[in-house]
A and B are shown apart, each in its own frame.
Chain A
Amino acid sequence: MSRSVVGTRSRTRRATREALAELAIPLPRMRVVDVLREASLSAVRAPARTLLNALGTILGVAAIVSIMGLSGTARGAVSDSFDVLRVTQVTFVDSEQDRTVGRDGRAAGSSLTLRAQESVAGLNGVVDAGLFWQFADGRPQPVRRFRTQGPADLSTPSLPLNVASARALTTNRAVVVQGRLFDAGMEDRHARVGVLGVVAARSLGVTRVDRGPVVYVRDTPITVVGVVGDVQISGTMLNALTLPTTTAEDLGLDGEREIIVRTAPGAAQTIAGQGPFAISPLAPGRVTALAPPDSSLLRNQVQSSLTSLLLALALIALAIGVVAITNVTLLAVMQRRSEIGLRRAMGAAPRHIALLVLTEAAATGTIGGFAGASLGTLTVAVVAAAKGWPPVLDPMVLVAAPLLGTLAGVLAGAYPARKATRITPIEALQR
């Protein structure tokens, strides 16, 4: 046998070109429109096969869209409850360089004043705002039950001294167990009044406030108008004596001031941004907003773990989709061996066969992507309606979904296309 004769002759492109030139035969070529036309004709004329092919994409893309949509919707619901419960509080403090306290105990020009408090309270989305500080960082100060001449000794009770505007008491949701809170009128009059926390009242031996008991701070008589039993924001009030801001300023009791703001749900971010301008319009940089760090951090952690989990699920769905389409496309290629062989016999080069399979897979993938996106959207809408959540679906997901289908089609078509190029024309004839 002279098999070797065939083997040793070089089958190069150059030799091919020369041989074909001798016979005046061009290499097979296909127009792009014809590739697209053939692929879409095959897809349209065999709708059952196309549907079967698209099924993997439809399910895959539908899974991805509904996972994205449901995670967005659920996340919206979760963050809604977080926001309503927690993120309705903003605290404004003086920026670092303005917190220096003078030797006499007065703040060196803090922007946080009663006027600033009123400006903040007037902002849209603010429920209440109050000026508050602790004298000497909350270190206990001697508070006597009776006026005495001698120096303070160990038997003298000591209490932290809090300073709050009348508004701060309501902002703090102070709950009165006896008497009343001091009000704005008393504050205006620089009244020598104060409010005791339940713990402080017990340690001072104040059991009733109806007769106006008096305690002495730096020998100034302070009439106790009420006892508070519960507060929401600043727990330090329970074992402290709390004085109006005007009175405290008279007594030289200053400290690091803050304006505590309670906002409408969802307004915290906005108020945090606007607050410094309301407090210090000429130098907003002197004021810093503190959003409560704990709850937002928690929320972010919950969100990011939820997102990565769902993203992983979506990717698995995509992978399953691609494998499914690959299988079905491969099956379709095998079923169409004779058609492919026939095209080869009619002059289609292997690359044209690959192109046909790929284009058809891409077209099928795109159709599946559209159908899947619709199905996924429907799923999100139905689930959201059943749960009573507002459906949240990023429009970009809907734009990307059909493209994802195309991509899945191309990915899934690659291997079958490669397989299809191996089909020889002779296979068309052996049936």
Chain B
Amino acid sequence: MIELDLDAVAVTYPGVPPVPALRPTSLQIRAGELVGVVGSSGSGKSTLLNVLGLLEHSTAGVYRVRGVDTAVLTERGRTALRGVQFGFVFQAHHLLADRTARENVELPLLYRKVPARLRRRAAVQALRRVGLGHRLDALPGTLSGGERQRANIARALVQQPRVLLCDEPTGALDSASSEDMVGLLQGLNQDGLTVVVVTHEQWIAARLPRRLRMQDGVVVEERPDGVTPGERTDGVTTGGRP
């Protein structure tokens, strides 16, 4: 089943001259895939991820989520889809400093009208799942970098999204914590979650079954087993409308 489907989607930031952060790209991600996105700084990795996560509007092309064209959605509808479909893990942890780990993890459920008791239970479950069951009431400031990132993942998981979008989740972590993180993501993927990870660390990219390389807004399919992009059936076409 095709989960996410980009059809000639592009993002151009206004400016003089305009910045073509994502050139027209056609790309499909199937349910249950684990996809890595690599590329040099400024190549457009975050832009791609933000478009996938409905955080950013594309300026051209058609983006379908599970077959539904996202262009028809009002802002509230986009928000609804974003909130249920995607979980986000960013490089910076983006936890609310004045809320405990549990309260932070409950956050996405606030907007789904989930009663407080169920919110609490779901948050505790998600925190246990990432190994933070012992720090439920800690404020983010008192957590280590690795713990914060795990709280972040717990928050991304609490509403049981279909796709986890991670933008350099290990960027602020030491190598041991990074190792844990990659293991965690792989485990989640094995449980059926679709995962897209932006990373600039080669060793992480090397462990992911599918890999996209970005260069100046152009997405190139890259496979760890050395098979060339042209041989893929569900491959990627870039550089203009197909």
Contact = CB atoms under 8 A, between A and B. Distances in A.
B58 A347 contact: no
A343 interface: yes
A345 B76 contact: no
A25 B73 CA distance: 12
B76 A342 contact: no
Contacts of B55: 345, 424-426, 429
B94 A342 contact: yes
A429 B111 contact: no
Interface in A1-27: 1-3, 5-6, 9-13, 15-17, 19-20, 22-23, 25-27
B79 A19 contact: no
Contact of A352 (B24, B62, B111): B111
A429 B80 CA distance: 19
Contacts of B66: 22-23
B10 interface: yes
A347 B71 contact: no
Interface in B56-102: 56-62, 65-69, 71-77, 79-85, 88, 90, 92, 94, 96, 98-99
A110 B227 CA distance: 127
A20 B59 contact: no
Contacts of A429: 46, 50, 55, 90, 92, 94, 167
A345 B82 contact: yes
Contacts of B50: 426, 429
Contacts of B61: 2, 5-6
Contacts of A338: 94
B215 interface: no
Interface string B111-131: 111011000000000000000
A347 B80 contact: yes
A342 B96 CA distance: 9
Interface residues of B, number: 54
Residue among B60, B76, B155 having the largest count of chain A Cβ atoms under 10 Å? B76
Contacts of A5: 60-62, 71
Interface string A303-329: 000000000000000000000000000
B59 A28 contact: no
Contacts of B77: 13, 16-17, 19-20, 27
Contact of B96 (A3, A339, A350): A339
Contact of A348 (B8, B74, B79, B103): B79
B12 A349 contact: no
B195 to A, nearest CB: 17
Given A13-B74, A16-B76, A342-B96, A22 B68 contact: yes
A176 to B, nearest CB: 86
B112 A26 contact: yes
A54 B92 CA distance: 31
- Is chain A's binding surface mostly helix, strand, loop or mixed? helix
A347 B79 contact: yes
B16 interface: no
B110 interface: yes
A197 B54 CA distance: 103
A11 B14 CA distance: 23
Interface residues of A, number: 50
Residue among A22, A31, A352, A429 having the largest count of chain B Cβ atoms under 10 Å? A429
A23 B68 contact: yes
B236 interface: no
A289 to B, nearest CB: 69
B107 interface: yes
A2 B7 CA distance: 11
Contacts of B85: 23, 25
Contacts of A16: 72-74, 76-77
A103 interface: no
B146 interface: no
A46 B79 CA distance: 27
Contacts of A167: none
Contacts of B159: 347
A12 B76 CA distance: 11
B36 interface: no
B241 interface: yes
B43 to A, nearest CB: 17
A30 interface: yes
Given A9-B69, A29-B111, A342-B94, 13 more contacts: A1-B12, A5-B60, A16-B72, A16-B74, A45-B99, A345-B55, A345-B82, A347-B79, A347-B159, A348-B83, A425-B55, A429-B46, A431-B92
Q: Which 4 A-B pairs have the closest CB atoms?
A: A347-B83, A16-B77, A45-B98, A15-B72
Interface of A: 1-3, 5-6, 9-13, 15-17, 19-20, 22-23, 25-31, 33-34, 38, 41-42, 45-46, 338-339, 342-352, 424-426, 428-429, 431
